[in-house]
Amino acid sequence: MPSSRKKPETQGGLSGTALKYIAMTAMLADHIGVVLLERIVYYRGSLERVAMIMTSQWGDRLYWLCQVLRSAGRIAFPIYCFLLVEGFLHTRDWRRYWLRMAAFALISEIPFRLAVWNTWAGGGCNVYVELAIGLLVLRGLKQSQGLTEPYRVIGMAAAIGGGCLAAVFLKADYDMDGILIISLFYLLRDKRPVQVMSGSLLSFLGSWDKYHGTGVLSAVPLLFYNGRKGQARWKYAFYWFYPLHLMALFLIRLCVIGIPLG
């Protein structure tokens, strides 16, 4: 059974805050691709500006730039899953941690739908929904590890299975794949190389069809994690960045590029 004691810190490497900056940058690149460039490339309206872009040599360049940005963005989610597990292991109150995730899931839903799905309704739910479900799964796994066999295995399977079903039912951003990555990061937490590679392998499989498996590259920064939290001047800045940058990208697409809702 993996231990719950704090892992020793190492000199050098990347802190938790550094990982957040890497994930945030990758996520921004991904969302520039999906919110702006994909809509320009695949938009089929009659806007003259869009038509002019797509009939020029820039159309092909935009397509490939979009692919590069979206491929680079595949490393963000596994890093966030890893940080979620680290946060769960070190938090003093998991309920407050979960309420924070749930609150930002509500705050982020409208910006997410407008930016990614270009509509007020329909589509899937934002990534905070996935992370909030993941936290409940982590709590279930922790509680189950204190049970005797076979109840321990049954409890762990129920926690993971229930989380996967919830992610599918709620149409969470990364479906059941995200729950499996979070679960693996937790269960293998005392074996860092195995932990990181297992989660990255799932990311590789999940991103293979469209983005050539670039999710596996998330293993590189995670292997350099030094166990330190790091320093962040604004505690909630990383939380607010998600809904705010999505809304900003949506407004750029709507007001500057001129692509309407629907």
Walking along the chain (262 residues) 10 residues at a time, the average pLDDT comes out as 53 90 98 90 57 64 86 94 97 97 98 93 91 98 94 97 97 93 95 89 70 83 93 86 98 90 79
For residue 146, which phi and psi values (nearest 5 degrees)?
A: -90, 0
Instruction: Please count the other Cβ atoms lying within 10 Å of the Cβ belonging to residue 228.
Output: 15
Q: How much is the pTM?
A: 0.89
Can you tell me whether residue 229 is helix, strand or coil? Answer: coil
Q: CB of 29 within 8 A of CB of 35?
A: no
Is residue 145 in a domain?
yes
pLDDT at 52: 57
Q: Is the peptide bond before 150 cis (omega within 30 degrees of 0)?
A: yes
Is residue 128 in a domain?
yes
Is residue 131 in a domain?
yes
pLDDT at 186: 97
Quote the number of domains for the chain.
Answer: 1
Enclosing domain of residue 109: 16-257
Q: Give bridge partners of residue 14 from the DSSP assignment.
A: 225
pLDDT at 2: 53
pLDDT at 46: 45
pLDDT at 151: 96
pLDDT at 209: 59
Is residue 87 in a domain?
yes
Is residue 229 in a domain?
yes
Q: CB of 30 within 8 A of CB of 72?
A: yes
pLDDT at 50: 57
